[in-house]
Amino acid sequence: MVFDDDLPGFGLSLSKGGSRMWVVQYRNALGQSKRESLGKVGLLSASDARRAAGERLARAKLGEDPHAEKVKAKARAAVTFGAVVEPYLEAVGPGLRPAYLAEAGRYLRTTWKPLHKLPLHTVGRPEITEHLTKIRNETGPHAANRARAALSAHFAWLVGTGKAETNPVMGVPKPAPEVRRARVLSEDEIARVLKACRDDDFGRVVRLLLLTGQRRDEVADMAWTEVDLAAGLWSLPGERVKNGQDHDVPLSAPALQILAGTERIEGRPLVFGQGDGGFQGFSRAKAALDKRSGVTGWRLHDLRRTAATVMGDRLKVLPHVIEAVLNHISGHKAGVAGIYNRALYATEKREALDALGAYLAGLKPSVEIAAADPEPALAKPKKRRAAAVLAHPAKRRGAES
């Protein structure tokens, strides 16, 4: 070790093997001696090495510890963005609905995969903005907005747990303005969609979405234990609905026909789909349905809005009953009132959905559409069909007598 006379602490280290390295040596605030390599002689000039050593020595005099900060920076660089994705999903998973968790996982694992190898602290607005532009160009503005929201929620959790200092998504503009959807299918569009539904799981899901006004995943993940055909009732547990409250959905005769005609698979608790989850493959099935029906520019969630609109505009169902059917906790059901009104409107809900079922069964498309299967998509209930009788206890008593 050879130290400089003009700058104490700055020196040259010569190893037995002949390598030469610029070094700086100082004491930290605790009085501990620290030695740090600055670079190899030849790759780093003497003047640059002296300047670097002077900067470290000055920081040490101010009470800082350049060596400890270097170790900390090295450890921070080893934590990549990809390394904190799974811990986040595991931590927030219990508090999210399965559909939301699956969507967040898809965006963070797949959509944001180009950021996975970057050190977490280097992920900033430039990287996020650049990739958001690619997402918008490849999958559209709506997907880009959802990807941005998922990333922002992730970074908010990272900041809260001390794994990140800031949320770099804040300040990054949304790829597109959020437009509140208001698409409602017309009578003719409803009739054409129903006529084009096949006698398969997707067709049954679409018809039940219109007949019940419930959300897509609530219908697609329906379990047989939730359905009581004899009582004509579908009971959704709180963990399967958005507001977390148990929700009873009366089943009209057409809805019961669909469920009574759905084959039960031994050992499978779910009504629709195959494998571990409920029905999947919506995108391809929806595209095929659009082609058969000729109705485009709508989403499955629009059927929920359509059902509510039909009940209000055509069937004159009162707004608070429509809210009860949709399981909305707003308006008159918000706050304390909602707690005590939870069990009300069972009769009104059944009357509303029975009227909706009869209305939908009577719709006819204005243009000729070939039936997608031998049976009509929403045939009027047959008098002798057990499910239709079971839907109404009064009719069951009449039939038994």
Q: Quick: pLDDT tens for 26-65.
A: 877 676 778 888 888 888 888 888 888 888 888 777 767 6
Judgement on whether residues 91 and 71 belong to the same structural domain of the protein: no
Helix (H) or strand (E) holding 11: strand 10-14
Nearest of 190, 376, 219 to residue 289 by alpha carbon: 190
On whether residue 319 sits in a domain, the answer given is: yes
Region 327-332 average pLDDT = 65
Q: Residue 16 is part of a domain; what is its CATH number?
A: 3.30.160.390
The count of structural domains within the chain is 3
DSSP string, 144-202: HHHHHHHHHHHHHHHHHTTS-SS-TTTTPPPSS----------HHHHHHHHHH--SSHH
Q: How far apart are CA 267 and CA 198, in angstroms?
A: 25
How crowded is residue 84: how many other Cβ atoms within 10 Å of its Cβ? Answer: 20
d(C-alpha 4, C-alpha 47), whole Å:
12
DSSP string for residues in 239-295:
GGSTTSS-EEEE--HHHHHHHHTSPPPTT--BSS-SSSSS---HHHHHHHHHHHH--
Q: Crossing angle of helices 125-139/141-160, nearest 10°?
A: 150
169 within some domain? no
Does residue 178 sit within a domain? no
The predicted pLDDT at position 400 comes to 41
In which band, very low, low, confident or very high, does the pLDDT at 329 lie, cut at 50, 70 and 90? low
Does residue 308 sit in the same domain as residue 237?
Answer: yes
Residue 307's closest CA among 218, 223, 171, 183? Answer: 183
Q: Residue 289 in contact with residue 206, Cβ under 8 Å? A: yes
Residues 119 and 10 in one domain: no
| pLDDT of 223 strictly over 90 | yes
Q: End of a domain among 76, 102, 123?
A: 76
What are the backbone angles phi and psi of residue 20, rounded to the nearest 5°?
-125, 135
The helix/strand/coil state of 38 is strand
In order, the DSSP letters of 344-366 are --HHHHHHHHHHHHHHHHT---S
Strand-by-strand arrangement of the 227-228 sheet: 227-228, 233-236, 247-250
Q: Of 76, 105, 132, which marks where a domain is finished?
A: 76
pTM: 0.61
Q: Is the pLDDT of residue 399 over 50?
A: no
334 and 384 belong to one structural domain: yes
Higher-confidence position of 340 and 141: 141
DSSP type of residue 380: P
pLDDT at 67: 62
Report the mean per-residue pLDDT for the chain: 84
Task: Give residue 372's pLDDT.
Answer: 62
129 Cβ contact partners less than 8 Å away, ≥ 6 residues apart: 172
b/e per residue 260-294 (b: at least 16 CB within 10 A):
bebeeeeeeebbbbeeeebbbebeebeeebeebbe
In a domain, 182, yes or no: no
pLDDT at 225: 96
CA angle 90, 94, 95 (to 5 degrees): 115
Q: How confident is the model at residue 75 (pLDDT cuts 50, 70, 90)?
A: low
pLDDT (tens digit, 9 = 90+) per residue, 165-187? 899 999 899 987 776 778 999 99
* Domain CATH code at residue 381: 1.10.443.10
Q: Quote the pLDDT of residue 109.
A: 95
Please check the confidence at residue 231 and state whether its pLDDT lies above 90: yes
| pLDDT, position 47 | 87
Span 328-355, average pLDDT: 69
pLDDT for residue 343: 52
H or E element that contains 10: strand 10-14
Same domain membership, residue 155 and residue 226:
no
Provide the residue range defining the domain that includes 95. Answer: 82-160
Contact 228, 238 (CB under 8 A): no
Query: Can you tell me the mean pLDDT for 79-99?
Result: 89
Query: Model confidence over 348-396: pLDDT tens digits?
Result: 999 999 999 999 999 998 877 766 654 444 544 443 333 333 344 444 4
| 247 & 343 share domain | yes
pLDDT at 113 over 50: yes
Torsional class of 140: left (φ above 0), alpha (ψ -120 to 50), beta (otherwise): left
In a domain, 125, yes or no: yes
The rounded radius of gyration (Å) of the Cα atoms in the chain is: 32
Q: Are residues 394 and 302 in the same domain?
A: yes
Of 44, 61, 76, at which residue does a domain stop?
Answer: 76
